[in-house]
Amino acid sequence: MKKAVVVFSGGVDSVCAVSFLKSKYELYGITFSYGQKANMEISATKSFAKKLGLKQHKIIDIGFMKELYGDSNVLTSSKRKIPSKFEYSIVVPIRNAVFLSVASAWAYTLNASLVVYGAHTGDKYYPDCRPAFAKKLESAFNQGEIDGINSKIRKKIKIWSPYREGLSKSDLLKKGKKVLGDSIFRTWSCYSNKKLHCGVCESCNNRKIAFEKAGVTDKTKYLK
Amino acid sequence: MKKAVVVFSGGVDSVCAVSFLKSKYELYGITFSYGQKANMEISATKSFAKKLGLKQHKIIDIGFMKELYGDSNVLTSSKRKIPSKFEYSIVVPIRNAVFLSVASAWAYTLNASLVVYGAHTGDKYYPDCRPAFAKKLESAFNQGEIDGINSKIRKKIKIWSPYREGLSKSDLLKKGKKVLGDSIFRTWSCYSNKKLHCGVCESCNNRKIAFEKAGVTDKTKYLK
């Protein structure tokens, strides 16, 4: 069976992305702890790794990123507030490049042919979620291993995301609901670090709208 | 003064690359500890950071890479031997992509315009040292921050290396010797982790040859 490495945040996007690939790939999950406020994500990944039958699951501490990023964005800053609509302050500079470079290094080691992250068409405001970025990054990584690929020591990788397939968040939810049933409501989307989803941050808002669009009754418990 | 982030290994290449840029940039060094056998590199970086007047110097522990890489290459494997001539087993898959993604994330945060690594024309067997890779990676990273760049929140970065300027290891040594004097011999090149340079691994061999080509008497102490 072909292998895929999945950047696995415990959010609804990456969990549902796995639902799309589960029958075709042997899956290796990689979760990054980078000093984000929402560390509820991390604990969610462990149970979903089991539920989705990942072959291996690594939790990688890159807490040093919090110090490097400082107050450049609201997700790692301890001072700045999280807005309810998209603002560029939410964008963590090339966060996905950091995640995907480590995930791809592992993929070359495992001889996996696919590296996956959960970006979808609703992530259009995030430049490191768009297909143009994924395509260029994939090309750069394969260039960085070109001799190994040409001599068949390594496998060429493709960076796959729902966005590159034209899939929206509600497409992901529909598929995820089929595979996961009600446990889909235990995924974590909120940017804050509270016991329940805050219900007001940009990410909670997107979650609510996507469940509605998917025609799935949203059983997530929100604070507001 | 413009800012540059330098991937700073304590080896002769990155130390001498800084010698080229020192007068034009305010320099921020970033050193990665990734489970390489040659951890002598790390201690060398601290004294060179001071000597070269780096504005900041961060030592980043990415020891998890050793586990991800496993036995895929001789530099992180605890089983495999290091050869004296180039073999593909020395290539750590897209190691420079991992280093450069973290360094570039920091560069976007600092509003630095240059990200530097010490690859030179002698590194032609390493695909992630070649200009084609650096150029594609730079393009991917800037694509990943394109909205921030277009709206002037972030600065576009360039990935600079001596290789992209057509400079060889001996060009670097000549320039480094001028700036650093005899302390250049305290840089660390060896792949092994012994008290002195082993004198027989591929990297020690390249060092010896480059000093000879540069016409600089090599005062490095080698075991052989």
pLDDT at A36: 62
Indicate whether A158 belongs to any domain.
yes
Number of domains within chain A: 1
Best of B34, B109, B125 to substitute, by most chain A Cβ atoms within 10 angstroms, is B109
In a domain, A223, yes or no: no
Q: What would the pLDDT profile of B28-56 be if each residue is shown by its tens digit?
A: 999 998 776 556 778 788 999 999 999 99
Q: Residue B56 has which token pair?
A: 């900041």
B94, B126, B138, B153: best to mutate for the A interface, most A CBs within 10 A? B94
Within a domain: B200:
yes
Q: Kindly identify which residue of chain A lies nearest to residue B130, measuring between CA atoms.
A: A144
Complex prediction ipTM: 0.93
Give me the total of CB pairs closer than 8 Å, taking one residue from chain A and one from chain B: 147
Look at residue A224 and tell me if it is in a domain: no
pLDDT at A147 (0 to 100): 96
Asked if A69's CB is within 8 angstroms of B109's CB, the reply is yes
* A-chain residue closest to B77, CA distance: A109
User: Is A219 a member of any domain?
Assistant: no
Segment A21-32 mean pLDDT:
95
The neighbour count for residue A181, using CB atoms within 10 Å, is: 10
pLDDT of residue B80: 78
The whole-number pLDDT of residue B69 equals 87
Question: Which domain covers residue A54, as residue numbers?
Answer: 2-214
Answer yes or no: is pLDDT of A207 > 60. yes
Q: What is the pLDDT of residues A124-147, one digit of tens each?
A: 999 999 999 999 999 999 999 999
Nearest CA in chain B to A103: B68
pLDDT at residue B83 in the model? 80
User: Is residue B220 one of the residues assigned to a domain?
Assistant: no
Q: How confident is the model at residue A217 (pLDDT cuts 50, 70, 90)?
A: very high
| Two structure tokens written together for B67 | 């586990």
What would the pLDDT profile of A72-98 be if each residue is shown by its tens digit?
Answer: 788 777 777 878 888 888 878 999 999
From CA B145, how far away is CA B148, in angstroms rounded? 5
Write the secondary structure of A15-44 as one string of H (helix), E (strand) and C (coil). Answer: HHHHHHHCCCEEEEEEEEECCCCCCHHHHH
Q: Binning pLDDT at 50, 70 and 90, where does residue A39 land?
A: low
The verdict on a CB contact (< 8 Å) between B94 and A72 is no
Residue A38 pLDDT exceeds 70: no
- What pLDDT sits at residue B109? 94
The Cα–Cα gap between B121 and A90 comes to 40
* Domain presence at residue B97: yes
Q: Do B148 and A93 touch (CB under 8 A)?
A: yes
| CB contact (8 A) between residue A58 and residue B68 | yes
Task: Quickly tell me which residue has 């920091």 as its tokens.
Answer: B106
Q: Is residue B224 part of a domain?
A: no
Average pLDDT, chain A: 92
CATH number at residue B77: 3.40.50.620
Chain A residues with CB-CB distance to B137 below 8 A: 137, 140, 143-144
Contacts of B163 in chain A (CB under 8 A): none
- Selecting from A105, A128, A154 the residue whose C-beta is nearest the C-beta of B144 gives A128
Q: Which positions in chain B touch A161 (Cβ < 8 Å)?
A: none
Sequence-distant (6+) residues with CB within 8 A of B82 are: B37, B74, B75, B90, B191, B192, B201, B202
Encode chain B (224 residues) as per-residue pLDDT tens digits.
999 999 998 889 999 999 999 999 999 999 998 776 556 778 788 999 999 999 999 999 998 998 888 887 887 777 777 788 888 888 789 999 999 999 999 999 999 999 999 999 999 999 999 999 999 999 999 999 999 999 999 999 999 999 999 999 999 999 999 999 999 999 988 888 788 999 999 889 999 999 999 999 999 999 99
Which residues, in sequence order, are CB contacts of B187 under 8 Å at separation 6+? B10, B11, B12, B15, B16, B44, B48, B176
